Structure 1
Amino acid sequence: MLTLTKLAHCVREHACSLTRLSAAVAMATLPAGAVYAQGSGGGVLEEVIVTSAATRLQSGFESPKPVTTVSREQLDARGLVNIADFLNEIPSFIGTTTPATTTLSSSLNGANLLDLRGLGPNRTLVLVDRRRFTPTNDTGAININVIPQSLIKNVEVVTGGASAQWGSDAVAGVVNLQLDREFEGARVDARYGEAGEGDAQTEFVSLAFGVASDDGRSHLVVGGDMENHDGVVNQSDRDWGRERWGIVGNPLDTGPDDGVPARLITRNVVLGLGTPGGYLPLALGNHPAVAQTRFGPAGEWLPYDIGEFPIPNAFAALPFQVGGDGTPFGDPASLSAPYDRKSFMAIGSHDLTDRVTLFAEASWGKTSSRNETVHPWSFIGGGPDIIAADNPFIPEPLQQVMTENAIPVLVMARTNIDHGAITSDTTNETTRFLAGARGDFADAWRWELSAATGTTDSQALQFNNVIKANRNFAIDAVRDPATGNNVCRANLGGANGAPGCVPLNLFGNGAPSQAALDYIHGTASLQWEVRQKVFAASMSGELLDLPAGPVALAFGAEYREESSSTTPDKTAVDGGYFITNVVPLEGEFDVSEAFLEAGVPVLAGANGMNLDVNAAIRYTDYSTSGGENTWQLGATFSPYTDLTFRGTVSRDIRAPNIGELFQTSRLFFQNLVDPFSGGVSRLIQVPVGGNTELAPEESDTVTFGAVYQPAWLDRFSLSADWYQIEIDGAISSLPAQTVVDTCFATGALCELVTLQNGELFRVQENLVNVAQRNVEGVDLEAVYEVPELVGGTLTLRWLASYVEEQSFSPDGITVLDDAGVVGPDAAGDNPTPEWRWNLSGDYRIGQLGVTAQLRYVGGGDYLADQTAEDINDNDVDDVYYVNLAARYDVPLSESGNLQLYAGINNVFDEDPPVAPVDFINNLGTNTQLYDVVGRYFFGGVRLTF
């Protein structure tokens, strides 16, 4: 067998045939990695990667880690314009942060962050040409939308811990976006797409241009993208969304052993906490004479219909009911956030001498998204509206009943549809500059020096956000006896306790005047800046020759500074808005690193037996937490030519990011059981804050696999790799329910709990190094190329992932395993099917290419550890998606080509499985795992010259 150590020597001596090069490269990049480039000449494995994607060693040897390589040709064949869409189809990725999952976000809406193994984007290290890129937020993550994808040549994905090679954050692995730095000529791509429902329109244009000087010593490449995606703005725009799937409490349930499920997944689920025109629930303390009533569009006082499955004990369980007068609050929920992105990059190089090259880069990317998030409800969690008996807007029949029964106040729950939706408008602009030099000496050693600086400037606006104090002033209306006009009580009798206050009529949908709405609304503003500086130096080469081949060595150092600042407006700092009350953030850290790697060919037998080992060690010193060591040991062993075993063991780290260290408060809402008031379930404010005492997370990773390339079946490769990642001291907050229960039972942690009138009101979640995360599974891949099939070339590729464990322990004691749990409310917040796989085929004949893909997302449990006593149906169906694309080349000249392409994603318009979200504006499925757009048509043209 030809190892990569021998391959480097073979290339230098020009002694390898293309067949042997192809075999060696295929072995080096599996699993999920053999790159069959589809050029005009057919399906030959054209791209020869001498450097292993999992190591900095320039001479290389077969990677002991699983590596997935995605080529430019594969991206173009699928017709996708965003690399994130392609990568999220690979089974080892989970789409936790995409336009479909950020529709409720106030700062990440429309973003694309990559997440390997479902461990979170902050545990996946994203690099551009193997260098760190400027973060786009205070978590250190990178929004792929700001990188010009017109210049991406291929993508290397290293799964499994890689901190010793690449630095901290590579706990789940590394994604390296490799740019086409040597491109010459011009390439234009224009594409339009639209969902079968007539929405989700996408317009995309990209340009790449490269030129070299006459003497070949200087080279310039520029590229840019423009994409506008309109999104899907209402769940009710889909037939499955109009079914209003949700989960409700079962009023027929009498106990744990009655054979009756406590909860039901069913259709026509609506919010039972409030109505658009106002609702007076008995559970909020309203007098029985007025309770369980609502108000119609004209303020009519009407009885409230509790529906088929009303909320048991009026708020004691889930806040939903079936039918009746509840509000379909999920109908206007967005399924995919609209976004607009623009990016540009210029790459230049100049050969100063035959051995020294200077290079520089400049890049700019801007993304923006504007999306309606939620309506500013007023009920449990948001606080119900307290209306005094002398409020002049109270309908006369109700006023009479209040007088007769001496009722002092009404407690109203309202969804406030007539207030208009709060709209998030987010803009991120990232600028980065890099310069450096590289060279070689002694024909065996290569070196590189580089320096980079970058800044992300962002703004998040929340239009139509409710100013809580203004709304409270406006609700408390009275009639001025002097004038007979309705006024705010704070301004009665000429007082000016609430300047500009306009009384707010809440009795009936549409009752508030525009002047009152203008008074209670404002625009929340949040500005933030992320800054990064990186200085790096490395050297690699061959140290000495052993009988089995040369010993490869690499070493280097890196210094990095990162800082972030967040500036909200004063109202937000004071907690004055309905949502997005963020306090100022200012934080920074610097880190120094040094690494050493070695690759040793131990055995090279004449019968094809080979053994290579490698080792890497890195010392990292953070200004915030001190020094840490990471390391890796790996080996590849071939008992004979057709078969290779490989494995690694490593210690990896993820240092706390600026947000985790310095963030003071972010407000969330959770349904919590309140033991202080008899075990009632309430929607509670849960601020989450940072901790400057956080230490880096530590993880231990083990991988073991085999690659089989039989001599009896040419162009076939099969691989299987088992992995296990165990993260100890993971940064997480203690669950709010754990904090509450501990405080109630023992008196500990009560400083994190706030009561109001004896009831649970707020729970503070602080970040600590207490959690554990473990993942375990198997990745599989098979690649087979049939070079002569009916006059063309067929390439088949199967990628699969089986997840045995996806566990999370929030306190280091309780373990929640989400493997096989696919509901969006999975206990560990990592919904993960046990099986996911893709089967793709690409057929090329002459000028025509056709690509077909069958993608499988396995079903599983809606929630973990449920029985027939807990829920009526805990099974979520699996789903198959079929994607088709075709392309046709029209040669224009010797170097020019026009390619027409078109395709259909989700050909059979498969609806997502039923897996509803338990939240105020509930969605009917899990947007992390399933396609919510439906059948999608696209077409475009590529011009190369």
Structure 2
Amino acid sequence: MFNTFGKTLLACASLSVIAATGGMAQTATAAARIPDEGTRIAFEIPAQSVSQSLQMFARQSGYRILFSEESVRSLRASAVTGSLSPRAALDRILAGTRLEVASVNGKVIALGERKTAAAGARRALPATRMAPQSETAPVASGDTLAAAEPAAAEIVVTGTLIRNPALTSATPVQSTGAEEIQLRQANTAEELLRELPGVVPSLGSAVNIGNPGYSFVDLRGLGSNRNVVLLDGQRIAPADLYGRVDLNNIPLALIERVDNLTGGASTTYGADAVSGVVNFVTRKDFEGVEINVSDQITSRGDGNYFNADITAGHNFADGRGNIVLSYGYQNANPVYQGDRSFGEAAIDSFSGGVSGSGTTTPARFTLLGQNGGNVQVNPETGGFNEGYVPFNYAPYNLFQLPFERHNVFGAAHYEVADGIELYGRGLYSKNTSTTIVAASGVSGSVVSIPLSNPFLGDGQRSMFCADAGMTSVQCGAAAVATDPNDPNFRAVDQQLWYRSVGLGPRVDEYQTELYDLRAGLRGALTDTINFDVSGSYGESMNKHIQDEGFMSLSATRDALMATSTGACLSGNPGCVPINIFGGPEALTPEMAEYVTVRPYSETKASLLQF
């Protein structure tokens, strides 16, 4: 849960100062006792940062530890090895720090600042993050923390977008730690969140139509634009114009913990946090090299999903600084519905029976004249069949989308002076996702067709003439009238349903590039005043390319108004008359190229913070 302890200074987009007013008259009590202090445990904790040592202590002892990251920042702990009681091991880790055991509630240990000799009052833990406590397990209740720390009066001077440290009430938070993240073996941050209560799954790679390749979080089903996603307590550049953050840009290999606040947080983070906040916390003081590789395929041997991460970090200047760099790569191959027997046929969502589309191949016409009804082209006879056979679009669609992702994340921090730290981070991501669905065409639009169209069969022309109420003599005269100025020239209007299979399936490609840079300075001016001043700029560029399989209605109408195979009546340069009165093979490459349209759109979203 997010709590604010005592007297702190917070700065998110500008500076905030909190100074104590009034003393803390409560007399300090004796040090809290840890149950089973006589029990001895074989500890193996190497020399490392105090934060990492406390987390290893929690895993090896079975206790949950609550402490402030700020209180141990840049502090190193000596190695703790051998058979020791939990209290003795914890004392060794805390040696040289200002922390002590403040309270114990069962298996939950809360650490607080060491009591001063003069006043004997317990100081507050500074809180400058979204989640002030580092924890290795779910946080204890608000009552436990309240018992460990007396209330203190505060004077708050805030700037724009500064969180209010007076918000001390308990809020519902789900915390997912490093061990659980490792066990889940999630490929993306969205897969990590989707199983949590209150989280509505986003579009994943198993959703085809209309999936631009983004992964957003939706808390409580209130919409993906009504929450805030943070990285180490700070906003990052949005992926679209709605201000939503694409979870595919999160460096999953470096995530240490995910805090999910599902209560309303608009009073703290703004109106867009009405459904909650998700904070991804990266690993600090990482040292060494870590490589993770996974290669997954389906039971049929297709749908290859490759995921690789490499992370390298190094501590320098006797632990005063750290630099870390992580690169991630993901690639997935498509799986077509037609590759599975259960996906070969389109299924009606209401009846559960075999279904299909009324936009067909060969073409279907809804007669608009005297006869009415639906007829479908019969390529073999040159006439029409009554009724129509629905088009089975299922085999062309996807069960798994193909995509490729590159993610680069770098961060560094250096303690330039005691209690003063310079830090920065950079994030770059490039994602390419492709959706593939059955070919497009003309779905119920009215088109004009000259009765002298060279591709029109005799039986088809006779049907159109009868529907228009024409005699056989009039129909015969119109069949040879190729000049629109000829009195016998006639064109009929009919409703067309045509699936342009000859164009191939529709291919939508979504390309997204994002970068986000942040730098700042943070530290402690006194025991009760901390600061964090930073600035950042991020930008995302999104391209949507509809590359293949899209048919232009205007070009189709133009190409149907023809009385010869070489030119259209409109006289438009490059117009190629189109043959929709045969089978799929009747559409030549030249015809297909003329009626194909390739829409393109590009958007950009940016975020500047001070």
Relative to the length of structure 1, the TM-score reads 0.45
In structure 2, do the counterparts of structure 1 residues 502 and 360 end up closer, same or farther at CA, with 3 Å as the change threshold? same
* Residue of structure 2 equivalent to 1:502: 576
1:231: how far off?
A: 4.1
Matched, 1:365 2:467: no
Q: How does 1:482-497 map to 2 (within 5 A)?
A: 485-491=565-571
Q: How does 1:118-267 map to 2 (within 5 A)?
A: 118-232=221-335, 234-242=336-344, 244-247=346-349, 264-267=350-353
Q: How does 1:28-427 map to 2 (within 5 A)?
A: 44-45=62-63, 48-50=66-68, 61=145, 64-101=170-207, 103-105=208-210, 109-232=212-335, 234-242=336-344, 244-247=346-349, 264-271=350-357, 273-282=358-367, 285-288=368-371, 291-296=373-378, 300-305=382-387, 325-380=389-444, 383-403=445-465, 405-406=469-470, 408-409=491-492, 410-427=494-511
Identity over aligned pairs, percent: 22
In structure 2, do the counterparts of structure 1 residues 17 and 347 end up closer, same or farther at CA, with 3 Å as the change threshold? farther
Query: Residues 511-542 of structure 1: CA distance to partner in whole angstroms, max 9, x if unpaired?
Result: 1111011112132221222121101xxxxxxx
* Residue of structure 2 equivalent to 1:519: 594
Matched, 1:449 2:533: yes
Query: Residues 2-47 of structure 1: CA distance to partner in whole angstroms, max 9, x if unpaired?
Result: x9969x99xx9995667799xxxxxxxxxxxxxx989996683566
1:415: how far off?
A: 2.1
Query: Residues 334-374 of structure 1: CA distance to partner in whole angstroms, max 9, x if unpaired?
Result: 33322211111111111111111000111111111122245
Give the Cα–Cα distance (whole angstroms) in 2 for the partners of residues 300 and 396 of structure 1: 7
Give the Cα–Cα distance (whole angstroms) in 2 for the partners of residues 53 and 444 of structure 1: 12
Give the Cα–Cα distance (whole angstroms) in 1 for the partners of residues 411 and 267 of structure 2: 28
Q: How does 1:658-697 map to 2 (within 5 A)?
A: none
In structure 2, do the counterparts of structure 1 residues 13 and 437 end up closer, same or farther at CA, with 3 Å as the change threshold? farther
Give the Cα–Cα distance (whole angstroms) in 2 for the partners of residues 43 and 196 of structure 1: 41
Equivalent pair of 2:513/2:541 in contact (CA under 8 Å): yes
Give the Cα–Cα distance (whole angstroms) in 1 for the partners of residues 32 and 287 of structure 2: 27
What amino acid is aligned across from residue 512 of structure 2 in structure 1? N
1:237: how far off?
A: 3.5
Query: Which one of the candidate residues 419, 442, 458 is aligned to 2:542?
Result: 458
In structure 2, do the counterparts of structure 1 residues 175 and 134 end up closer, same or farther at CA, with 3 Å as the change threshold? same
* Residue of structure 1 equivalent to 2:520: 436
Query: Residues 34-77 of structure 1: CA distance to partner in whole angstroms, max 9, x if unpaired?
Result: xx989996683566454789956679947611111112221211
Give the Cα–Cα distance (whole angstroms) in 1 for the partners of residues 35 and 454 of structure 2: 88
1:444: how far off?
A: 2.6
- SS of 1:490's partner is coil
Give the Cα–Cα distance (whole angstroms) in 1 for the partners of residues 340 and 58 of structure 2: 41
Unaligned runs of 5+ in 1: 22-35, 248-263, 307-324, 480-484, 492-497, 536-945
Equivalent pair of 1:297/1:509 in contact (CA under 8 Å): no
Give the Cα–Cα distance (whole angstroms) in 1 for the partners of residues 205 and 342 of structure 2: 19
* Residue of structure 2 equivalent to 1:476: 561
1:211: how far off?
A: 0.5
In structure 2, do the counterparts of structure 1 residues 425 and 499 end up closer, same or farther at CA, with 3 Å as the change threshold? same
The structure with more radius of gyration: 2
Give the Cα–Cα distance (whole angstroms) in 1 for the partners of residues 29 and 331 of structure 2: 49
Give the Cα–Cα distance (whole angstroms) in 2 for the partners of residues 444 and 136 of structure 1: 38
Give 1 or 2: higher strand fraction: 1
Give 1 or 2: higher helix fraction: 2
Equivalent pair of 1:435/1:452 in contact (CA under 8 Å): yes
Query: Residues 594-647 of structure 1: CA distance to partner in whole angstroms, max 9, x if unpaired?
Result: xxxxxxxxxxxxxxxxxxxxxxxxxxxxxxxxxxxxxxxxxxxxxxxxxxxxxx
- SS of 1:122's partner is coil
Equivalent pair of 2:251/2:408 in contact (CA under 8 Å): yes
Give the Cα–Cα distance (whole angstroms) in 2 for the partners of residues 394 and 303 of structure 1: 15
Give the Cα–Cα distance (whole angstroms) in 2 for the partners of residues 18 and 299 of structure 1: 92
- SS of 1:414's partner is strand
Give the Cα–Cα distance (whole angstroms) in 1 for the partners of residues 266 and 402 of structure 2: 35
Give the Cα–Cα distance (whole angstroms) in 1 for the partners of residues 381 and 245 of structure 2: 50
Query: Residues 257-304 of structure 1: CA distance to partner in whole angstroms, max 9, x if unpaired?
Result: xxxxxxx52310122x2311101234xx15528x53212455743424
Query: Residues 155-207 of structure 1: CA distance to partner in whole angstroms, max 9, x if unpaired?
Result: 10000210222223111110101111321111110001122243332101101
Give the Cα–Cα distance (whole angstroms) in 2 for the partners of residues 16 and 394 of structure 1: 94
Equivalent pair of 2:346/2:393 in contact (CA under 8 Å): no
Give the Cα–Cα distance (whole angstroms) in 2 for the partners of residues 377 and 337 of structure 1: 23
- SS of 1:176's partner is strand
In structure 2, do the counterparts of structure 1 residues 37 and 515 end up closer, same or farther at CA, with 3 Å as the change threshold? farther
Query: Residues 882-908 of structure 1: CA distance to partner in whole angstroms, max 9, x if unpaired?
Result: xxxxxxxxxxxxxxxxxxxxxxxxxxx
Aligned length: 461
Give the Cα–Cα distance (whole angstroms) in 1 for the partners of residues 298 and 171 of structure 2: 39
- SS of 1:100's partner is coil
Q: CA RMSD in A?
A: 3.3
What amino acid is aligned across from residue 269 of structure 1 in structure 2? S
Equivalent pair of 2:396/2:505 in contact (CA under 8 Å): no
* Residue of structure 1 equivalent to 2:487: none
1:418: how far off?
A: 2.3
In structure 2, do the counterparts of structure 1 residues 210 and 515 end up closer, same or farther at CA, with 3 Å as the change threshold? same
Relative to the length of structure 2, the TM-score reads 0.69
Give the Cα–Cα distance (whole angstroms) in 1 for the partners of residues 198 and 560 of structure 2: 52
Give the Cα–Cα distance (whole angstroms) in 1 for the partners of residues 378 and 301 of structure 2: 34
Query: Residues 816-868 of structure 1: CA distance to partner in whole angstroms, max 9, x if unpaired?
Result: xxxxxxxxxxxxxxxxxxxxxxxxxxxxxxxxxxxxxxxxxxxxxxxxxxxxx
**In terms of mean alpha carbon deviation, does 171-180 or 87-96 score higher?**
87-96
- SS of 1:303's partner is strand
- SS of 2:597's partner is strand
In structure 2, do the counterparts of structure 1 residues 56 and 190 end up closer, same or farther at CA, with 3 Å as the change threshold? closer
What amino acid is aligned across from residue 189 of structure 2 in structure 1? I
- SS of 2:359's partner is coil
Equivalent pair of 2:58/2:64 in contact (CA under 8 Å): no
In structure 2, do the counterparts of structure 1 residues 175 and 219 end up closer, same or farther at CA, with 3 Å as the change threshold? same
Unaligned runs of 5+ in 2: 9-23, 38-53, 70-126, 135-141, 147-168, 476-490
What amino acid is aligned across from residue 567 of structure 2 in structure 1? V
- SS of 1:523's partner is coil
Give the Cα–Cα distance (whole angstroms) in 2 for the partners of residues 512 and 83 of structure 1: 45
What amino acid is aligned across from residue 177 of structure 1 in structure 2? F
